Structure 1
Amino acid sequence: MGDRRVINVYLLGVAFMLLFTAFTTCGNIEQTVIRSLTNTSFSGSGYNSLAIIYGVFSVSNLIAPSVVAVVGLKMSMVFSGVVYSGYVVSFCEPMTWSFYIASTLIGFAAAVLWTAQGSFLILNSDSTTINRNTGTFWALLQCSMLFGNLYVYLQWRDTTVISDHDRSIFFIILSVISLAGTAILLTLKNIKHVDSNSEINDPLLQDSRLFKEKAMSTLDQITSEFRSMLRLFRTKNMMLLSVTIMYSGLVLTFYSGVYGTCIGATRQFGPVAKGLIGLSGIFIGIGEIIGGGIFGLLCTNNQFRRTSVILLGVIVHLLAFYLIFLIIPGDAPIGGATSSLYEPYLSPSPAAALVSSFLLGLGDSCFNTQLYSILGILYPQQSSPAFAIFKFVQSISAAVAFGYSNYLVLSWQLLILTSFCFFGTLSFFTVKKIEDNASDLQDF
């Protein structure tokens, strides 16, 4: 049984790595690809697509547990993987209507996918393996930032305009990778029981059989889940942490969609601009992997306070924002960096752009690892509604950010990020102080 669970965790991580190699690379490059389309009838926007995805994702979190309860953990993930693959396929021959329909469907599929993933990971863990399994999954998932972006760099580093042929080949490859990840999900084995010494007590996370046995009618379950989330959301700690979660959603928008577009639109980078998009994604992924691995280990061994990790995340993010402000033209997110009014303050340097990418990934890992950790500590018996709120708030803020990314110049976007970075950090530190006063926790 133990070996089967270890195999399940690795298979889950590899499957998600492949799925998100396709999807993350797609999100990073799609606005640049759309701007190169020769199809004049296509009127879609990559920013609008991502805004739809995260908007639908946020709402769908309210009903995703019910869908997973009825369909089952493995088949919920397989269904979602097929939808993810369909979204990537839509770029092979872009049409506005299919593009936005796929964006809507993938928003729903994402909520189902992550609900089932969390349940399956907990099901295959116990009190002695949960940290190891979570770290293993995180590392494999973040590797998705490397491979697709490496292809973009190698193939498009000397390309100024992405041809229809190159686009089709690229997205066919991504589609095959995504379908391979979905196929791996089919090899997962159901685990019928959890270990007796498991400390995971959330009834929604025990196993799919218990899920189904205790499932109420769909409407009743949705109502019950919503009420549970609403009660938890009204607590002081969760409302404070929501500000930090909102910041994580804004940063997600910036590094996964906006920053790559900015690099590709910076004419001072010359013919290497398009290839730099892929290289930037690789450096973001390296920052994510290093930060998640190192700080997860240090905090587990009580060698590093969680507030110190957050403070480091603030420092590296503010440094990244300042570098980006200096070297990227102000109108790069919205107009292709053509106006002399928005010339960068310093001559754009590929090295500085890649350093900024690494810092974005490192800072993001600081915030996300500590948010996951603090939610697990504060709500060990309410993990399901707590993480549903986390995804709900994060996806709403990401949707809003993708919406305004169509219209705001870079300086305004960076100002918003800086403001939420400050208030999100203040909120996190306030929760830490409240909990220290309440329970005398020394290592939060």
Structure 2
Amino acid sequence: MADTDNKRVSHEPTGTLELPHSWKYKHISILGFKFPWYASPPTQLLIVSFVCFMCPGMFNALNGIGGAGQMDPTANNHANTALYSTFSVVGFFAGTFTNKLGIRTALSFGGIGYSVYVASFLVYNHKQNLGFTTFAGALLGVCAGLLWCAQGAIMMSYPPEQSKGRYISWFWMIFNLGAVIGSLIPLGQNIHATVPKNVNDGTYVGFLILTLIGAALAWTLVDAKDVIRDDGSKVIVMKHPSWKSEILGLWETFFTDPYILALFPMFLASNWFYAYHFTEVNGAYFNLRTRSLNGVCYYLFQILGAYVFGFALDFKGIRRTTRAKIAWCALFALIMIIWGCGYKFQTTYDRAFGTSKTAIKKDWSDPGFAGPFVLYIFYGFSDAAWQTCVYWFMGSLTNNGRKLANFAGFYKGIQSAGGAITWALDDGGIPYMNMFASNWGLLAGSLLVALPVILWKVEDTVALEKDIKFTDETLEEVAAKARVIPAGEAHNEKV
């Protein structure tokens, strides 16, 4: 019920929740456990998580073993440079396309791009067709821009304010579990391989099947307008978006929320380190079976990092504004400690060793393996912490699904521009120490640039009147829609 005098709406549970009479809102009980209704935020997030488990998760597993499974990283560098170049353009405008096309279409189309990318390396194993892998990378950039924008909008706009950290954490844990399982495939197939070689066809076929399943799974989602939270509120969406309104809304974001520009360096940093992690550390320093083991543990620590930071960001005993400041301090300390240790490690080898076809790479049975291994898995931990905090910072600025789609588009577009630059730098032969320095400097510097947003723009709660500026409805219309189900179409549900 709207309070029209104060122009606010209550989101507190009322004890009895009225839901429409539809299969989408029926609880399912298994072994005494009552699962949320299908059109609830937890269920929808679970579906999106498994789409990303199957698609980006397999992509991460493939790239995580270095060179996408090829001993010569040239094809992977060309593909990823093309990928992140198109991703950076499409991702920036992806909020516009996602708002118009819808979540399901964006996610499914995105998933197909991952299938083509994996298939191109299966072909490369036999034909060495560099043109196909480069094309597949460029196509994936278009597809991934839509997939990640849709995912980000759901993850940040569906949950209630007090649960956004946990939702981000759940997503990141399930998503990275896909990369863990994906990394187990090459580990199992190459566990006895101590000499350099490419991964076999079975690895690529397994990844291809999983990405196709993920693309199909996206069609099981419901429309955002049908999602109802457990307090009865609904997601704020635009009634009938047009291409014109979406394009104007994209540019309007810069005028209504110019502070988002201060987060752009953090966005840029969020993909900058992958070329270094995957190719210049894992691919350059370790042999194939050890790279596979490192990939498994890297993503396991991503799950741990997402769990720790996601749940800490929602800690109920501390105000959200205070949690934001603590998160910034924790992130800064983590970056300085882990990358400080990374500097010591980087002094032990260079590009000449990493690209040598005769150099004996580190195996897990060799003395001195433990130190680089621990460093590498903590690179994974810090990656998850970074991504979780960036999403949470954005999600704490608004609850408007349309605006968050634009934020997610900015995020993925800019981070992909960073990825395109670093894969191109690696392909151009940049010294490893120079790449390392660019990572450490950008991560630390971007946190300093973002600090004013953390201090002055994150609030304990976002007033409804701030969130309806990007809709075609009045405050009263949004408030009424968020809380009231038409008479005769509802059933009571205790919450």
Q: Normalising by structure 1, what TM-score?
A: 0.80
Q: Does 1:224 align with 2:248?
A: yes
Once the two structures are superposed, residues 340-366 of structure 1 have per-residue CA deviations (whole angstroms, 9 ceiling, x without a partner) of 9xxxxxx98322221111110121222
Output the CA distance in 1 between the equivalents of 2:181 and 2:344.
26
Residue in structure 2 matched with residue 361 of structure 1 by the alignment? 380
Where do residues 295-306 of structure 1 align in structure 2 (5 Å cutoff)? Answer: 295-301=309-315, 305-306=326-327
Output the CA distance in 1 between the equivalents of 2:62 and 2:380.
18
**Cα displacement (A) at 1:222:** 5.6
- Picking from 368, 373, 391, the partner of 2:412 is 391
Output the CA distance in 1 between the equivalents of 2:277 and 2:215.
25
- Picking from 186, 190, 197, the partner of 1:162 is 197
Where do residues 16-415 of structure 1 align in structure 2 (5 Å cutoff)? Answer: 16-29=52-65, 31=67, 33-35=69-71, 45-94=75-124, 95-121=129-155, 125-126=159-160, 130-157=164-191, 158-162=193-197, 166-190=199-223, 192-195=225-228, 202-203=236-237, 210=239, 214-216=240-242, 218=243, 220-221=244-245, 223-231=247-255, 235=258, 237-264=259-286, 273-301=287-315, 305-332=326-353, 335-336=355-356, 349-381=368-400, 382-406=403-427, 407-415=429-437
Higher helix residue share = 1
Deviates more, 1:117-126 or 1:70-79: 117-126
**Cα displacement (A) at 1:131:** 4.5
**Cα displacement (A) at 1:201:** 6.1
Residue in structure 2 matched with residue 207 of structure 1 by the alignment? none
Output the CA distance in 2 between the equivalents of 1:117 and 1:58.
16
Give the 3-state SS of the residue equivalent to 2:116 in structure 1: helix
Return 5+ residue gaps in structure 2 as ranges. 1-24, 26-35, 361-365, 462-495
Higher strand residue share = 2
**Cα displacement (A) at 1:195:** 3.4
Output the CA distance in 1 between the equivalents of 2:68 and 2:399.
43
Once the two structures are superposed, residues 42-88 of structure 1 have per-residue CA deviations (whole angstroms, 9 ceiling, x without a partner) of xx531121121111111002443343345432232222212211110
Output the CA distance in 2 between the equivalents of 1:263 and 1:130.
38
**Greater RCO (Cα-Cα under 8 Å, separation 6 or more):** 2
Residue in structure 2 matched with residue 7 of structure 1 by the alignment? 43
**Cα displacement (A) at 1:109:** 0.3
Once the two structures are superposed, residues 315-342 of structure 1 have per-residue CA deviations (whole angstroms, 9 ceiling, x without a partner) of 3432342243144434355x237699xx
Give the 3-state SS of the residue equivalent to 1:250 in structure 2: coil
1:73 maps to amino acid: I
Aligned residues of 1:52 and 1:399 also touching (Cα < 8 A): yes
**Cα displacement (A) at 1:140:** 0.3
Output the CA distance in 1 between the equivalents of 2:359 and 2:205.
35
**Cα displacement (A) at 1:440:** 10
Output the CA distance in 1 between the equivalents of 2:285 and 2:414.
28
Give the 3-state SS of the residue equivalent to 1:91 in structure 2: helix
Deviates more, 1:45-54 or 1:245-254: 245-254
2:210 maps to amino acid: I
Aligned residues of 1:313 and 1:364 also touching (Cα < 8 A): no
**Cα displacement (A) at 1:143:** 1.0
Q: What is the aligned-residue identity percentage? A: 16
**Cα displacement (A) at 1:414:** 0.8
Aligned residues of 1:245 and 1:390 also touching (Cα < 8 A): yes
Once the two structures are superposed, residues 117-144 of structure 1 have per-residue CA deviations (whole angstroms, 9 ceiling, x without a partner) of 2344467544565554333222101112
CA RMSD of aligned residues (A): 3.2
Cα distance change of structure 1 residues 298 and 440 upon mapping to structure 2, 3 Å threshold: closer
**Cα displacement (A) at 1:159:** 3.7
Aligned residues of 1:84 and 1:106 also touching (Cα < 8 A): yes
Cα distance change of structure 1 residues 292 and 320 upon mapping to structure 2, 3 Å threshold: farther
Rg larger in 1 or in 2?
A: 2
Deviates more, 1:358-367 or 1:126-135: 126-135
**Cα displacement (A) at 1:261:** 1.8
Output the CA distance in 1 between the equivalents of 2:290 and 2:446.
31
Output the CA distance in 2 between the equivalents of 1:32 and 1:331.
20
Residue in structure 1 matched with residue 9 of structure 2 by the alignment? none
**Cα displacement (A) at 1:402:** 1.0
Return 5+ residue gaps in structure 1 as ranges. 38-43, 205-209, 265-272, 341-346
Once the two structures are superposed, residues 224-278 of structure 1 have per-residue CA deviations (whole angstroms, 9 ceiling, x without a partner) of 1441344367x3x3333222222222123333444332234xxxxxxxx111111
Cα distance change of structure 1 residues 364 and 373 upon mapping to structure 2, 3 Å threshold: same
1:170 maps to amino acid: T
Output the CA distance in 2 between the equivalents of 1:84 and 1:192.
28
Output the CA distance in 2 between the equivalents of 1:199 and 1:239.
30
**Cα displacement (A) at 1:104:** 0.9
Output the CA distance in 2 between the equivalents of 1:400 and 1:126.
36
Aligned residues of 2:94 and 2:409 also touching (Cα < 8 A): no
Q: What number of residue pairs does the alignment pair up?
A: 405
Output the CA distance in 2 between the equivalents of 1:368 and 1:390.
10
Cα distance change of structure 1 residues 223 and 428 upon mapping to structure 2, 3 Å threshold: closer
Output the CA distance in 2 between the equivalents of 1:189 and 1:385.
20
Output the CA distance in 1 between the equivalents of 2:248 and 2:122.
42
Residue in structure 2 matched with residue 41 of structure 1 by the alignment? none
2:441 maps to amino acid: S
